[in-house]
Amino acid sequence: MDFLPFEIYSAPFPKDKYGLIYEIPEYCSEQELEVIRGIIDHNVPYYKQGIPSDVYPNVAYIHNNLPLEKSFIIHEQCRKIFNHYENNLPADYRFSRVGDMQYRESCEFILHQRIQGNPKSMKEYPIHIDAGKCMTLLVPLSPVQSVPTRFHGIDYEEHIFKTIPWKINHAYLFCSSPYSSHSYVGDGNADRWILNINIFDMKYVLDTDKPERFLEQVEYSDPSYGYQMLKNLKNFPS
Protein backbone atom coordinates (compact mmCIF):
# COMPACT_ATOMS: atom_id res chain seq x y z
CA MET A 1 0.00 0.00 0.00
CA ASP A 2 2.46 2.56 -1.25
CA PHE A 3 -0.12 5.37 -1.00
CA LEU A 4 0.44 5.37 2.78
CA PRO A 5 3.42 7.58 3.82
CA PHE A 6 4.87 5.21 6.42
CA GLU A 7 6.31 1.71 6.60
CA ILE A 8 3.68 -1.00 6.23
CA TYR A 9 4.04 -4.55 4.94
CA SER A 10 1.97 -7.72 4.78
CA ALA A 11 2.37 -10.48 7.36
CA PRO A 12 3.84 -13.67 5.85
CA PHE A 13 0.60 -15.65 5.97
CA PRO A 14 -1.15 -17.37 3.01
CA LYS A 15 -3.73 -14.84 1.89
CA ASP A 16 -6.06 -17.53 0.53
CA LYS A 17 -6.59 -18.59 4.15
CA TYR A 18 -5.85 -15.48 6.23
CA GLY A 19 -6.65 -12.67 3.82
CA LEU A 20 -4.38 -9.64 4.18
CA ILE A 21 -2.94 -8.71 7.55
CA TYR A 22 -0.52 -5.79 7.59
CA GLU A 23 2.22 -4.93 10.06
CA ILE A 24 3.14 -1.34 10.92
CA PRO A 25 6.36 -0.99 12.94
CA GLU A 26 6.74 1.97 15.31
CA TYR A 27 3.06 2.90 14.98
CA CYS A 28 3.34 5.73 17.50
CA SER A 29 6.15 8.24 17.59
CA GLU A 30 8.10 8.55 20.84
CA GLN A 31 6.25 11.79 21.52
CA GLU A 32 2.87 10.12 20.96
CA LEU A 33 3.84 7.22 23.25
CA GLU A 34 4.77 9.73 25.92
CA VAL A 35 1.31 11.28 25.64
CA ILE A 36 -0.35 7.84 25.88
CA ARG A 37 1.73 6.89 28.92
CA GLY A 38 0.72 10.17 30.57
CA ILE A 39 -2.95 9.43 29.89
CA ILE A 40 -2.59 5.93 31.33
CA ASP A 41 -0.68 7.08 34.42
CA HIS A 42 -3.26 9.76 35.23
CA ASN A 43 -6.51 8.10 34.19
CA VAL A 44 -6.15 4.32 34.25
CA PRO A 45 -5.87 3.13 37.87
CA TYR A 46 -5.86 -0.55 36.87
CA TYR A 47 -2.61 -0.02 34.96
CA LYS A 48 -0.63 0.21 38.22
CA GLN A 49 -2.94 -1.71 40.54
CA GLY A 50 -3.58 -4.64 38.21
CA ILE A 51 -6.86 -5.60 36.57
CA PRO A 52 -9.14 -7.68 38.86
CA SER A 53 -9.12 -11.34 37.90
CA ASP A 54 -12.92 -11.45 37.51
CA VAL A 55 -12.90 -8.87 34.68
CA TYR A 56 -13.86 -10.42 31.33
CA PRO A 57 -12.85 -9.76 28.68
CA ASN A 58 -11.30 -6.33 29.30
CA VAL A 59 -11.38 -2.86 30.75
CA ALA A 60 -11.43 -0.11 28.13
CA TYR A 61 -10.76 3.60 28.39
CA ILE A 62 -11.89 5.80 25.54
CA HIS A 63 -9.79 8.94 25.27
CA ASN A 64 -11.24 11.40 22.81
CA ASN A 65 -7.99 13.20 22.09
CA LEU A 66 -5.39 10.60 21.16
CA PRO A 67 -3.40 12.59 18.57
CA LEU A 68 -1.95 9.70 16.56
CA GLU A 69 -0.76 10.77 13.13
CA LYS A 70 -0.94 7.31 11.53
CA SER A 71 -4.51 6.85 12.78
CA PHE A 72 -5.59 10.06 11.09
CA ILE A 73 -3.88 9.10 7.84
CA ILE A 74 -5.47 5.63 7.85
CA HIS A 75 -8.87 7.18 8.53
CA GLU A 76 -8.38 9.65 5.70
CA GLN A 77 -7.19 6.90 3.31
CA CYS A 78 -9.53 4.12 4.45
CA ARG A 79 -11.44 3.92 1.15
CA LYS A 80 -8.18 3.33 -0.70
CA ILE A 81 -7.28 0.64 1.83
CA PHE A 82 -10.63 -1.11 1.31
CA ASN A 83 -10.18 -0.92 -2.47
CA HIS A 84 -6.68 -2.37 -2.11
CA TYR A 85 -8.06 -5.33 -0.16
CA GLU A 86 -10.75 -5.94 -2.74
CA ASN A 87 -8.26 -5.79 -5.63
CA ASN A 88 -5.68 -8.09 -4.04
CA LEU A 89 -7.76 -10.92 -2.63
CA PRO A 90 -9.78 -13.78 -4.19
CA ALA A 91 -12.85 -12.81 -6.22
CA ASP A 92 -15.16 -14.25 -3.55
CA TYR A 93 -13.65 -12.04 -0.82
CA ARG A 94 -16.38 -10.23 1.11
CA PHE A 95 -16.05 -7.53 3.75
CA SER A 96 -18.08 -7.86 6.93
CA ARG A 97 -19.31 -4.25 6.88
CA VAL A 98 -17.73 -2.20 4.11
CA GLY A 99 -19.93 -3.05 1.11
CA ASP A 100 -19.01 -2.50 -2.54
CA MET A 101 -17.02 0.39 -3.98
CA GLN A 102 -20.09 2.46 -4.82
CA TYR A 103 -21.36 2.13 -1.25
CA ARG A 104 -17.95 3.04 0.18
CA GLU A 105 -17.79 6.25 -1.81
CA SER A 106 -21.09 7.46 -0.37
CA CYS A 107 -20.82 6.49 3.29
CA GLU A 108 -19.10 8.22 6.20
CA PHE A 109 -16.39 6.38 8.11
CA ILE A 110 -15.54 7.30 11.67
CA LEU A 111 -12.44 6.67 13.77
CA HIS A 112 -12.69 5.10 17.22
CA GLN A 113 -9.68 4.59 19.54
CA ARG A 114 -9.40 3.11 23.01
CA ILE A 115 -6.84 1.91 25.53
CA GLN A 116 -7.78 -1.65 26.44
CA GLY A 117 -6.50 -3.99 29.15
CA ASN A 118 -7.05 -7.72 29.71
CA PRO A 119 -6.31 -9.36 33.08
CA LYS A 120 -3.38 -11.72 33.12
CA SER A 121 -5.65 -14.61 34.14
CA MET A 122 -8.22 -13.95 31.39
CA LYS A 123 -9.63 -17.09 29.82
CA GLU A 124 -9.66 -17.35 26.05
CA TYR A 125 -11.82 -14.84 24.22
CA PRO A 126 -13.56 -16.93 21.55
CA ILE A 127 -12.82 -16.76 17.86
CA HIS A 128 -14.49 -13.75 16.22
CA ILE A 129 -14.07 -11.64 13.07
CA ASP A 130 -14.80 -8.16 14.50
CA ALA A 131 -18.16 -8.15 12.73
CA GLY A 132 -19.64 -4.65 12.73
CA LYS A 133 -16.22 -3.06 12.43
CA CYS A 134 -14.78 -2.12 9.05
CA MET A 135 -11.12 -2.14 10.05
CA THR A 136 -9.11 -2.98 13.16
CA LEU A 137 -5.62 -1.97 14.26
CA LEU A 138 -4.06 -3.45 17.38
CA VAL A 139 -1.01 -1.79 18.96
CA PRO A 140 0.69 -3.56 21.91
CA LEU A 141 1.50 -1.20 24.79
CA SER A 142 2.51 -3.41 27.71
CA PRO A 143 4.15 -5.65 28.94
CA VAL A 144 7.39 -6.22 27.03
CA GLN A 145 6.49 -9.90 26.57
CA SER A 146 2.97 -11.28 26.22
CA VAL A 147 0.74 -13.59 24.20
CA PRO A 148 -0.01 -12.11 20.76
CA THR A 149 -3.38 -12.17 19.02
CA ARG A 150 -4.01 -15.47 17.25
CA PHE A 151 -5.29 -15.46 13.66
CA HIS A 152 -7.34 -18.52 12.68
CA GLY A 153 -8.18 -17.70 9.06
CA ILE A 154 -11.27 -18.46 7.04
CA ASP A 155 -11.54 -22.07 8.27
CA TYR A 156 -11.97 -21.05 11.94
CA GLU A 157 -9.84 -23.92 13.22
CA GLU A 158 -9.43 -23.40 16.96
CA HIS A 159 -6.03 -25.01 17.42
CA ILE A 160 -4.48 -23.94 14.10
CA PHE A 161 -3.46 -20.29 13.98
CA LYS A 162 -0.76 -17.81 13.03
CA THR A 163 0.64 -15.04 15.21
CA ILE A 164 2.63 -11.87 14.78
CA PRO A 165 5.16 -11.77 17.64
CA TRP A 166 4.17 -9.41 20.44
CA LYS A 167 6.27 -6.26 20.32
CA ILE A 168 5.46 -2.94 21.94
CA ASN A 169 4.31 -0.34 19.39
CA HIS A 170 4.36 -2.84 16.50
CA ALA A 171 0.84 -2.66 15.08
CA TYR A 172 -1.17 -4.99 12.90
CA LEU A 173 -4.06 -4.01 10.66
CA PHE A 174 -6.84 -6.05 9.09
CA CYS A 175 -10.28 -5.53 7.58
CA SER A 176 -13.22 -7.44 9.01
CA SER A 177 -14.23 -10.39 6.83
CA PRO A 178 -14.60 -14.18 7.11
CA TYR A 179 -10.80 -14.29 6.78
CA SER A 180 -10.18 -12.15 9.87
CA SER A 181 -11.14 -14.67 12.58
CA HIS A 182 -8.94 -14.20 15.65
CA SER A 183 -8.80 -14.79 19.40
CA TYR A 184 -6.70 -13.86 22.41
CA VAL A 185 -6.04 -15.02 25.97
CA GLY A 186 -4.17 -13.92 29.10
CA ASP A 187 -0.65 -15.26 29.58
CA GLY A 188 -0.91 -15.78 33.35
CA ASN A 189 2.03 -13.45 34.04
CA ALA A 190 0.97 -9.85 33.40
CA ASP A 191 -2.02 -7.80 32.30
CA ARG A 192 -2.12 -7.22 28.54
CA TRP A 193 -2.55 -3.60 27.37
CA ILE A 194 -3.15 -2.51 23.78
CA LEU A 195 -4.45 0.35 21.69
CA ASN A 196 -7.55 -0.90 19.91
CA ILE A 197 -8.26 1.32 16.91
CA ASN A 198 -11.29 0.82 14.66
CA ILE A 199 -12.93 2.30 11.60
CA PHE A 200 -16.74 2.16 11.73
CA ASP A 201 -19.41 2.87 9.12
CA MET A 202 -21.62 5.65 10.47
CA LYS A 203 -24.75 4.01 9.02
CA TYR A 204 -24.02 0.87 11.03
CA VAL A 205 -23.48 2.95 14.18
CA LEU A 206 -26.77 4.80 13.77
CA ASP A 207 -28.64 1.53 13.19
CA THR A 208 -27.45 -0.02 16.47
CA ASP A 209 -29.58 -0.02 19.61
CA LYS A 210 -27.26 2.43 21.39
CA PRO A 211 -25.48 4.61 18.85
CA GLU A 212 -24.37 7.00 21.59
CA ARG A 213 -21.87 4.45 22.88
CA PHE A 214 -20.02 4.88 19.58
CA LEU A 215 -20.66 8.54 18.90
CA GLU A 216 -19.61 9.72 22.36
CA GLN A 217 -16.36 7.84 21.93
CA VAL A 218 -15.45 8.71 18.36
CA GLU A 219 -12.04 10.34 18.16
CA TYR A 220 -12.17 12.57 15.11
CA SER A 221 -14.76 12.34 12.35
CA ASP A 222 -12.77 15.14 10.71
CA PRO A 223 -9.15 13.98 10.24
CA SER A 224 -7.87 17.54 9.84
CA TYR A 225 -8.69 18.19 13.49
CA GLY A 226 -6.22 15.48 14.46
CA TYR A 227 -3.41 17.10 12.52
CA GLN A 228 -4.05 20.35 14.35
CA MET A 229 -3.83 18.46 17.64
CA LEU A 230 -0.45 17.10 16.57
CA LYS A 231 0.82 20.62 16.01
CA ASN A 232 -0.18 21.41 19.59
CA LEU A 233 1.12 18.16 21.05
CA LYS A 234 3.40 19.82 23.61
CA ASN A 235 0.35 21.43 25.16
CA PHE A 236 -1.74 18.27 25.06
CA PRO A 237 -3.43 17.66 28.45
CA SER A 238 -2.69 14.34 30.14
- The single-letter DSSP state of residue 218 is B
- Dmax of the chain from CA atoms? 49
Give the homologous superfamily in CATH for domain 27-235: Jelly Rolls (2.60.120.10)
Q: Which residue has the higher pLDDT, 160 or 73?
A: 73
pLDDT tens-place string over residues 190-219 = 999 999 999 988 877 777 666 555 544 333
Listed in sequence order, the DSSP H helices in the chain are 15-18, 30-43, 45-49, 69-76, 78-87, 101-106, 202-207, 212-215, 223-231
* Cα 201 to Cα 105: distance, rounded to the nearest angstrom: 12
Contact 88, 16 (CB under 8 A): no
* Cα 223 to Cα 140: distance, rounded to the nearest angstrom: 23
pLDDT at 44: 76
Burial class (CB in 10 A: 0-12, 13-18, 19+), 20: buried
* Cα 34 to Cα 38: distance, rounded to the nearest angstrom: 6
**Range from 87-96, 178-187, 201-210 that averages highest in pLDDT:** 178-187
pLDDT tens-place string over residues 124-161 = 888 888 888 899 999 999 999 999 999 999 877 778 89
End-to-end Cα spacing for the chain: 33
pLDDT confidence tier of residue 226, bands split at 50, 70 and 90: very low
Percent of the chain clearing pLDDT 90 (strictly above): 42
Above 60 in pLDDT, residue 235?
Answer: no
pLDDT at 52: 87
Contact 217, 133 (CB under 8 A): no
pLDDT confidence tier of residue 56, bands split at 50, 70 and 90: confident
pLDDT at 227: 32
Average pLDDT over residues 57-61: 82
Between the alpha carbon of residue 117 and those of residues 193, 200, 203, the distances in Å are 4, 21, 28
pLDDT at 229: 33
Above 60 in pLDDT, residue 102?
Answer: yes
pLDDT at 92: 72
Average pLDDT, the chain: 81
Average pLDDT over residues 217-222: 33
Q: Which residue has the higher pLDDT, 95 or 128?
A: 128
Average pLDDT over residues 73-97: 86
pLDDT at 230: 34
* Cα 219 to Cα 225: distance, rounded to the nearest angstrom: 10
Between the alpha carbon of residue 181 and those of residues 84, 103, 210, the distances in Å are 20, 24, 25
